[in-house]
Chains A and B, each alone.
Chain A
C-alpha cells in the first residue's frame, strides 16, 4: 500500500441527471438517378465528413480490391497526383475501400471545400480511367500488402475463421491471393466500374458544419448527372453456424495463440438484438465483462480480449477474440467456455445488467458526439436500411430489456455448444492442451 496521509473513507458521488439522446438536424433526398443523400448538421469544427457507399456484393474479389485501390488514379482531366493535389487544396482527401457488401468512398475536408470535393468525387465516379501505369503500380502494392497481411496472426486467424464459418458463401474469402491480383488488367477494372459503380441504391452521407438542405443541393448539383443502370447482385443469407471439432491452425514458433469463437447473432432490427448486445457486453463486449475480468485481470493470460457482434448485409455473427500466451492456451479456452456456459445457463444479476445497460446507452451518446462518429453511424445504419431516428428506438429497447430477456438471449446465442472455435498457434505446443478439453482437427496456416 502506498503511504497517504488521509484515510477517511470517501464514497462514490452519484450520477447527475441524464441528458436525453437528441438527434441532430438532418435532411435527406433521393435524387432522380437513385442516389440517396443524407446530410447531418454538427457544426463543432469547420469540416465536413463524407461517406459514400455502393452495393458491391458478388464482385470478383481481386478485381474489386484493385478497383478500390485505383479508382482515384486518374480521370480524363486529372492524373492521380493532380486528383490528390486538387483535394488537398481544400484540405480534403478521399480514399476507397471494399467489403463483401459495399464499395465505400471515405473522406473529410474543410467545409469551405465541400463543393470542390463533390465535384472531384463526381469526376471520379463518372470518369475514372484506370491508367495502365498506375494500375500496374497499385497492383504490385496490393500484392505486397496482402503478403504482409498473410504474415500477421490476426489476419490469418480471421481468414481461417471466415472460411470455416461461411463455407461456400461469398463471405468465406475476403482477401484475394497474390496470383489472382497479378492477373487483373486495367480493361477488367474499367468494365467492372461500368457495371457496378452506379448511383442506384447508393447512399452518400455528409456530416459537419453544413446546412443540411444546402448540402443536399450541393450534392445534387455535383452528382445529379451520375448515371448508369444499377446492376444489383443480392447475396444469399449466410449459412447457420455448424459447430464441430476445434479447428487448430498451425503456425509454428508462434509465441501466442489466437483464440477465436464465432457465435450466432441477429441483425439490428431483430427483437433479440438489444438483449443480445447486452448479453455480449456481460460476456466480453467491454472491459468490465466477465471474460476480461477473468482471463486478463485475474489470470493474466492475455492483454486485450474482446467480443462484438458484426453486421453484414447477408447475416450477423458474434466473434470473440483473444491472443493468449502459448503455455496457457488450454486454460484460456477452459475459462472462455466456462464464462459462455455460465452466462447461457444462469441469469445475470440485475446490477450487473444495469452496468452493461448504462454502458450501452452512454456509448451511443459518445458515438454521436463527433462528426466522424456521426458520419460512420449514419452510413452504417443506412446500409441496413435504417436512419438516425432508429437510435431512439434502439435506446428504448436497451432500456427495456429485462434480466429474463438477456438470459434468454444468452442461452440462445452465447451457449458454448453453438460456437465455432478456432485457435491459430504453435500446434506442437498447444495441441495436447486443447485435446484435453475438446476434439481437435489440425490444419496448416
Chain B
C-alpha cells in the first residue's frame, strides 16, 4: 500500500494583544461559530514559587481566590457564573495559576467583572482560610492518600530528580504546612504575586474585539497597578549519575515505575525542545509506537505505558527545568530493572538506526489531531493563548504548533533519543504493598 501522508492542517484563530496602563496583558481571539466565550486569567506564580515551609501554599491560595472579593460575598462568584449558565474552575501548575470560565456569550461582561473584582483583592479571612484548608486536605485524601498510585509520579518523582526546594517539593503540600498557613501570609502572597503586571487575561469565542476591549478597560482599567515580582532562577544542573528510588504504596496491587530525563529549556530553546515532544509520542502513542509494541505486545513486560513532557503532562505550559517522563505499570511480579533495560535498548536502537520517515509522519499527524482537538473548545484556546502570552509573549504560536511539530525531522528525533542515557535518568519505583 502506498504511504498516505496527511497534510498537517493549521488553525487561523485571529489574535489581538494589548496591555492596559496598569500592566495587565490582554489577548483576544474572536470566533463567532458558537454563542459561547472562554475567559481565562493567569497569574505568573505556581508551585515552584511557594515559600519553604509552606508546601501547597500556591494551591491553597488558589482556593482562597474563590472565597469572595472586594464587592462579592463568599459563594457569590460560583452563583454568578453558574446562574449565567456558565462553568468555572481554577488550577495550580508548576509555573502559573489559572482561573477560568466558559459561559454563554451574553455573560461576557459578568465574567470580566468577577475576575476584575478578585484581581483587586480576595476576602482573606481566618474563617475562609480554615474552611479551605479542610477542603484541600480532603482533596489530597481523595486524589493521593486514599487511592493506589496517588501522586505517582508527579509528586513522587521530582524529589528524586531535583535537589532544590522549588523543583523538588510536594506541590499539594503537607498537612502540617497547610494547617499552619496564616491570613497574613496569604495577604503577602497576593500582594507580591497577584499583581496586574504579573497577570494575563485571555478571552476567546463569540466576541467583538472593539466591544470586548471597551468592557475590559471598563472593568480592569482601574485595578491598581503593581509590577511583576522578579522571577527567581529555578535552574539546576543536569544529572551526571543515575538516581533511583523506591517506595511502598500500601494500596497499590501491582508494581509501577516512572523515569525522567531533563530536556532543553522549553522557552529559551524551543527548537531544541520540540523534538523531545515528538519523541515522547514516537515512543508511546498507541499500539504502533516503539515502546508499546515492544514492552506491551512483544515482551509483555508492562501492561500500561505513557510518555509525556512535563511533570503535569502538558509540554507547552512549563518552563525550565523540566523533563521527558515515561511511566509504566507492570504485571504481578514484574521486573522493573528489565523494563528500564529494554527502554535503554529501544532508545539506543532509535539513536543508532533512526526511524523511517513514515513512522515519524504518522506520529506527527496524530499529534496534530490532538493539538487541534484541544483548541476546539473556546476555553482550551483562551487558556493556551494565555500561557503562551505569559511565558513567551506569543499567543499566536497556538496556530503554529501542529506545523511546528510536523516540521521536526527524523534526525532531530534521533538526536533527542541519543541524550536519554541511563546516567542522566531519575526513576522512581512503586512497590505494591496492597498485592493480594
Q: Interface of A with B (CB < 8 Å)?
A: 1-7, 9-13, 15-19, 22, 42-47, 72, 80-85, 88-93, 108-110, 112-113, 116, 134, 137, 140-141, 144-145, 147-148, 150-154, 253-256, 286-288, 293, 296-304, 323-325, 354-355, 358-359, 361-363, 365-366, 368-373
Contact = CB atoms under 8 A, between A and B. Distances in A.
Contacts of B424: none
B79 A355 contact: yes
Contacts of B117: 10
Interface stretch (B103-111, B228-236, B306-314): B103-111
Nearest to A360: B85
Contacts of A81: 287-288, 293, 297
B70 interface: yes
Query: What size tier do the contact residues of chain B reach?
Result: 35 or more
Interface stretch (B40-48, B258-266, B342-350, B358-366): B358-366
A153 B142 CA distance: 9
Interface string B61-98: 00000000011001100111011111110000000000
Contacts of B4: 89-90, 116
Given A297-B75, A362-B103, A2 B124 contact: yes
B133 to A, nearest CB: 8
B286 A84 contact: yes
Given A4-B224, A47-B372, 19 more contacts: A1-B123, A3-B121, A10-B70, A45-B375, A84-B287, A91-B365, A91-B369, A93-B286, A140-B331, A147-B436, A151-B148, A152-B147, A288-B82, A297-B135, A300-B131, A300-B132, A303-B135, A369-B36, A369-B377
B353 interface: no
Interface of B is mostly: mixed
Interface of B: 3-7, 9, 11, 31, 33-36, 70-71, 74-75, 78-80, 82-88, 102-110, 113, 117, 120-125, 130-139, 141-142, 145-149, 187, 190-191, 206, 222, 224, 250-254, 285-288, 293, 296-297, 300, 303-304, 329, 331-332, 358-359, 361-363, 365-366, 368-369, 372-373, 375-378, 434, 436
A5 B85 contact: no
B145 A255 contact: yes
Given A4-B224, A15-B107, A108-B373, A88 B145 contact: no
A365 B104 contact: yes
Contacts of A288: 75, 78-79, 82-83
B106 A359 contact: no
Contact of A151 (B71, B105, B142, B251): B251
B85 A365 contact: yes
A358 B84 contact: yes
Contact of A1 (B88, B113, B125, B373): B125
A258 to B, nearest CB: 9
A304 B132 contact: no
B187 A2 contact: yes
Nearest to B117: A10
A363 B254 CA distance: 40
B82 A92 contact: no
A301 B138 contact: yes
Contact of A354 (B83, B252, B300, B373): B83
B199 to A, nearest CB: 15
Nearest to A77: B1
Given A91-B365, A293-B75, A354-B83, A147 B254 contact: yes
A105 to B, nearest CB: 15
Contacts of A154: 147
A254 B109 CA distance: 45
A12 B80 contact: yes
